[in-house]
């Protein structure tokens, strides 16, 4: 494991604007073990026994030992993804505020748009029926227009906190987010399913990659539990 | 106290679109007392002694007895206010989803815009220097345009969850929100100060009015504690 | 449903000292529905459709609509059960404090003791091999002795908060506890299994009875989900 | 700063049985700064400016940037202190379970007992009026007796989870506890005051020492805010 590699930003949506970056973390698979074994008045044993214990805890939903491993991320994502993300109330967040700054306003333009899924009211599917060039141009032009309107309002002397109301929800936002492994796995579970919006699934996948390198045994048990293998 | 009056929606931003509505609540000032006195193995005493106890608890920051009074609200507010609101992680929320429905999309157009406060980077002040007619027209036209673009994207077959990304942050959203009195007072404390954005302060004031009618003694002690009288 | 019946204390451990009492609650099955349907911009439909929605939400783990129903209990239980209970961090608690009062100290004496389960390190089973009369007498005498020692320490002028350290963990304690339906169901799920200690299972069963009378449709879906029918 | 020194167990109650041990932590004063400055779309500046920002955040109660620093402790303390500690619901805990093990049962015997404070119903004061030798002997003998009774019950075949009910509350327990800096400071604030029980104040002081060595600037601002300098 190369830690410098582990902490490089991942361009989650592959547009040069999105990123997920692991800032720091504490704990590893063996922290789960030592936290769990305090119940028995014991510590670590052999790797094999410890691996078995992690699997047992995960599969029997004894999740408290997974709370002592903590991850801190730095994230750049569109506002509509941020809104889904911040519904998770067990994380700690600090976000860029459009009350403070009017700089670096950029927008997410999907490479490929998705069609409404007619079987699933909240879902969508990739489809050749969509003309992506036209769609991309429409969204791009709308972003430029919104930015112009925003700047016009600022020039009229209007406060940033008021002017921002015209900015669309594909505007990028940026935040720090800290969470323990138990709640991070809950996030991944909910956001990696086919029912989740494609964009947030990409973030969940990037997190999964990081977990694969930091807590491989816990992650393996998690994947088995939720049929993700 | 007329309960039917208490549960009527309040048009917080006075535009016929915003509202705060008390759906239901449990507990009152005397619930604080009986919860607190369980510590002493005692229950209620005289109104005077009970009032004194509530003041003592509030002023000495013994807030756990205030957690047993619970309020459920139904709220309609602009997205940029919702984003401030949902930063409070101790509430329970259920919100309208633009992945499910494309109906009833309306926008907040301020009656009076505010100027950037030059002393306070995040703040704003009402000012005669702003031409409100021009500003209102600019924001109104931008909303119409965004809605047109949104509908165009839907007509191209694009999924609601994708098309919504062009909708601006003054779009109204709607949610149910449940919280206990301790955390509700924390919300009011943070959101009623002059540093808070004017719009969310109006919601904090509406909540204060409801608390005045439901937990008057607790509220009085709260106001004294935070210099709000 | 007779509400006065619903709020009568239940003698959970059948010793005249334990109790679980529903103090108050807000919401019912239809609150789940209206909170969930705000996502679609809709409200209640027919009872049949609403029942189907509740089952769908429960079985697909969409638990946020269950957070708007809130229960407040008054509980008397042995300290060792209280310690298991207070591990649930999503409840609000106020408890009798032995720093404040030295009155009404009573102890839990099991009617029937359980044998160590040799297959399950943390478990126990009822067994005819145990001489319950001897065991009851042993525990009863120990309680009397601890109380005498406690009173001796008080008479020596020692502070209540210090003297209490000799009191055993079968001492009864009393508390108010408020929780929403989502977290209450989580408590029931964890504490009603055969792995849970027999005493706390009795409290979980008493809660189940109350839920049967207050949110029957939600409870039915919960039981189906967790194989409790 | 010598990290190995930092992670040595501290014998908080000076009896050779109690300890507080820092297991690991992430973040430092500058993590507060970088998390806070994401709001402005900025990062770190000079040490002087960054120190000023930390003080500003602390004194104006902008506590979210302090949530990204996380500490993990290993604690040994008497049960009656553990019960006060676990009232803090924002921590993650794993504790030794007397359902699993009957080993290493030891008791806290205070060096000096405290007298009931007649002005303060929950408080106590050190006093020459107490005969500490007699009190220590009383508590020591009671512990031995409780342990004998416990072992008798085990020999009768009674389950550990049942037999433990005779064990007094000065029995030592052991746990892992993880918490972020914001909530850790809240714990210190509540548990370091003269109203807190003397024993838990010693733990709060030990934590303060650790914070002095890990986040000195944040701690300095905290002490100023709460008059602890």
**D169 vs C170: CB contact, 8 Å cut-off?**
no
Rounded to whole angstroms, how far apart are CA atoms A205 and A191?
9
Q: Which residue, C199, C166, C210, C207, is CA-closest to C77? A: C199
Beta-bridged to residue B36, according to DSSP, are none
**B168 vs A169: CB contact, 8 Å cut-off?**
yes
The band of B1, judged by pLDDT with boundaries at 50, 70 and 90, is very low
pLDDT in tens, D6-24: 899 999 999 999 999 999 9
In a domain, A213, yes or no: yes
The pLDDT, as a whole number, for residue C3 is 62
Statement to judge: residues D186 and D214 lie in one domain = yes
Q: In chain A, what residues touch D65 (CB-CB under 8 Å)? A: 94
Tell me, yes or no, if A82 is annotated catalytic: no
Q: In chain B, what residues touch A78 (CB-CB under 8 Å)? A: 165
The pLDDT, as a whole number, for residue B2 is 52
Q: Does C95 touch chain B (CB under 8 A)?
A: yes
Beta strand ranges found along A9-91 (DSSP E): 19-26, 70-78
Most confident of A116-125, D54-63, D122-131: D54-63
The DSSP-derived string for chain D is --HHHHTSPB-TTSSSS-EEEEEEEE--HHHHHHHHHGGGT-----HHHHHHHHHHHHHTT--GGGGG-EEEEEEEEEHHHHHHHTT-TTSEEEE--TTT------B---SS-EEEPSSSTT-EEE-TTS-HHHHHHHHHHHHHHHHHHHHHHHHTTB-HHHHGGGSBTTBEEEEEEEEEHHHHHHHHHHHSSTTS-HHHHHHHHHHHHHHHHH-HHHHHHHHHHTT--
Q: Does C30 touch chain B (CB under 8 A)?
A: no
- C109, C121, D13, D18 from D171: Cα distances, Å: 20, 21, 14, 11
Statement to judge: residues D140 and D209 lie in one domain = no
The pLDDT, as a whole number, for residue C1 is 46
Tokens 């349907």 belong to residue:
C37
Q: B88 pLDDT exceeds 90?
A: yes
**C139 vs D153: CB contact, 8 Å cut-off?**
yes
Q: Does C168 touch chain D (CB under 8 A)?
A: yes
In a domain, D139, yes or no: yes
With a cut of 70, list the residues of chain C below it in pLDDT. 1-3
Statement to judge: residues A30 and A137 lie in one domain = no
Question: Where among B139, B166, B193 does a domain terminate?
Answer: B166
**C134 vs D124: CB contact, 8 Å cut-off?**
no
What residues of B act catalytically? 191
Q: What are phi and psi of C42, to 5 degrees?
A: -130, 170
Nearest residue of A to residue D94, measured between CA atoms: A35
Statement to judge: residues A53 and A144 lie in one domain = no
CB count within 10 Å of CB A91 equals 21
Minimal CA separation from A164 to chain D, in Å:
15
Rounded to whole angstroms, how far apart are CA atoms D147 and B132?
79
pLDDT average, residue stretch D151-169: 96
In a domain, B214, yes or no: yes
- The tokens describing C45, both together, are 């439909």
Partners of chain B (3+ Cβ pairs below 8 A): A, C
Q: What are phi and psi of D124, to 5 degrees?
A: -155, 160
Q: In chain D, what residues touch A72 (CB-CB under 8 Å)? A: 26-27, 31, 68
The pLDDT, as a whole number, for residue A106 is 97
Q: Does D147 touch chain C (CB under 8 A)?
A: no
Q: A118 pLDDT exceeds 90?
A: no
The pLDDT, as a whole number, for residue B3 is 61
Rounded to whole angstroms, how far apart are CA atoms C159 and B119?
55
Tokens 């009957």 belong to residue:
D102
pLDDT average, residue stretch B120-125: 83
Q: Which residue, C216, C227, C226, C220, is CA-closest to C69? A: C216
Partners of chain A (3+ Cβ pairs below 8 A): B, D
- pTM for the full predicted model: 0.96
pLDDT average, residue stretch D58-81: 97
The band of B144, judged by pLDDT with boundaries at 50, 70 and 90, is very high
The pLDDT, as a whole number, for residue C102 is 87
Rounded to whole angstroms, how far apart are CA atoms C202 and C114?
15
Question: Where among A166, A181, A200 does a domain terminate?
Answer: A166
Q: Does A36 touch chain D (CB under 8 A)?
A: yes
Most confident of A21-25, B2-6, B42-46: A21-25
Q: Does B83 touch chain C (CB under 8 A)?
A: no
Q: Does D146 touch chain C (CB under 8 A)?
A: yes
Question: Where among B126, B141, B166 does a domain terminate?
Answer: B166
Tokens 């993990």 belong to residue:
D72
Coil, strand, or helix at residue B118? coil
A56: CATH: 3.30.1360.170
Q: Does B197 touch chain A (CB under 8 A)?
A: yes
Domain around A83: 3-95+171-225
Q: Which residue, C65, C84, C77, C103, is CA-closest to C10? A: C77
pLDDT average, residue stretch B125-146: 95
Statement to judge: residues D215 and D127 lie in one domain = no
In a domain, C10, yes or no: yes
Number of domains in chain D: 2
CB count within 10 Å of CB B21 equals 17
pLDDT average, residue stretch A161-182: 97
Nearest residue of C to residue D157, measured between CA atoms: C115
pLDDT average, residue stretch A23-47: 93
pLDDT in tens, B20-35: 999 999 999 999 999 9
Exposure pattern of B159-193 as b/e (b: 16+ CB <10 Å)?
A: bbbbbbbbbbbbbbbbbbbbbbbbbbbbbbebbbe
Nearest residue of A to residue D66, measured between CA atoms: A92
Q: Does A104 touch chain D (CB under 8 A)?
A: yes
Q: What is the count of residue pairs from A and D with beta carbons less than 8 Å apart?
A: 98
Statement to judge: residues C129 and C149 lie in one domain = yes
Nearest residue of B to residue A128, measured between CA atoms: B157
The band of A1, judged by pLDDT with boundaries at 50, 70 and 90, is very low
Minimal CA separation from D150 to chain A, in Å:
18
Of D39, D92, D174, the CB nearest to A94: D39
In a domain, D109, yes or no: no
Statement to judge: residues C29 and C123 lie in one domain = no
pLDDT in tens, A189-226: 999 999 999 999 999 999 999 999 999 999 999 999 99
Statement to judge: residues D14 and D68 lie in one domain = yes
What residues of C act catalytically? 191
Statement to judge: residues B14 and B81 lie in one domain = yes
In a domain, A122, yes or no: yes
The band of D1, judged by pLDDT with boundaries at 50, 70 and 90, is very low
- Chain D interface disruption, residue of A40, A66, A70, most D CBs within 10 A: A70
Statement to judge: residues C74 and C162 lie in one domain = no
Of A92, A101, A182, the CB nearest to D41: A101
**C86 vs D90: CB contact, 8 Å cut-off?**
no
In a domain, A107, yes or no: no
Of A132-146, B65-79, D114-128, the one with minimum mean pLDDT is D114-128
In a domain, A104, yes or no: no
Q: Does A146 touch chain B (CB under 8 A)?
A: yes
Q: D179 pLDDT exceeds 90?
A: yes
Statement to judge: residues A187 and A217 lie in one domain = yes
Beta strand ranges found along A64-105 (DSSP E): 70-78, 92-95
Rounded to whole angstroms, how far apart are CA atoms B212 and D53?
37
Statement to judge: residues C82 and C185 lie in one domain = yes
Nearest residue of C to residue B174, measured between CA atoms: C38
Do A221 and A59 contact (CB within 8 A), yes or no? yes
**C139 vs D167: CB contact, 8 Å cut-off?**
no
pLDDT average, residue stretch A85-105: 94
Q: A2 pLDDT exceeds 80?
A: no
Tokens 């789960």 belong to residue:
A32
CB count within 10 Å of CB C6 equals 14
**B178 vs C67: CB contact, 8 Å cut-off?**
yes
Coil, strand, or helix at residue A227? coil
């Amino acid at each position: 494991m190369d830690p410098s590699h582990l902490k490089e930003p991942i361009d989650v949506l592959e547009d040069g604007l999105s990123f997920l970056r692991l800032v720091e973390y504490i704990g590893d698979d063996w922290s789960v073990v030592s936290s769990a074994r305090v119940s028995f008045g014991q510590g670590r044993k052999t790797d094999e026994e410890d691996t078995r214990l992690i699997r047992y805890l995960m599969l029997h939903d004894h999740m408290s030992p997974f709370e002592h491993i903590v991850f801190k991320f730095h994230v750049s994502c569109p506002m509509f993804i941020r809104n889904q993300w911040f519904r998770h109330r067990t994380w700690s967040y600090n976000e860029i505020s459009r009350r403070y700054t009017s700089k670096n306003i950029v927008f997410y333009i999907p490479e490929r748009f998705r069609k409404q899924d007619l079987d699933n009211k909240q879902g969508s599917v990739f489809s050749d029926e969509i003309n992506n060039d036209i769609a991309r141009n429409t969204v791009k032009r709308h972003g430029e227009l919104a930015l112009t309107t925003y700047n016009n309002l600022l020039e009229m002397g209007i406060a940033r906190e008021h002017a921002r109301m015209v900015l669309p929800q594909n505007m990028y936002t940026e935040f720090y987010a800290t969470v323990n492994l138990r709640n991070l796995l809950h996030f991944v579970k909910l956001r990696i399913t086919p029912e989740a919006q494609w964009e947030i699934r990409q973030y969940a996948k990037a997190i999964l990659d990081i977990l694969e390198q930091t807590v491989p045994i816990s992650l393996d048990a998690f994947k088995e539990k939720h049929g993700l293998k």
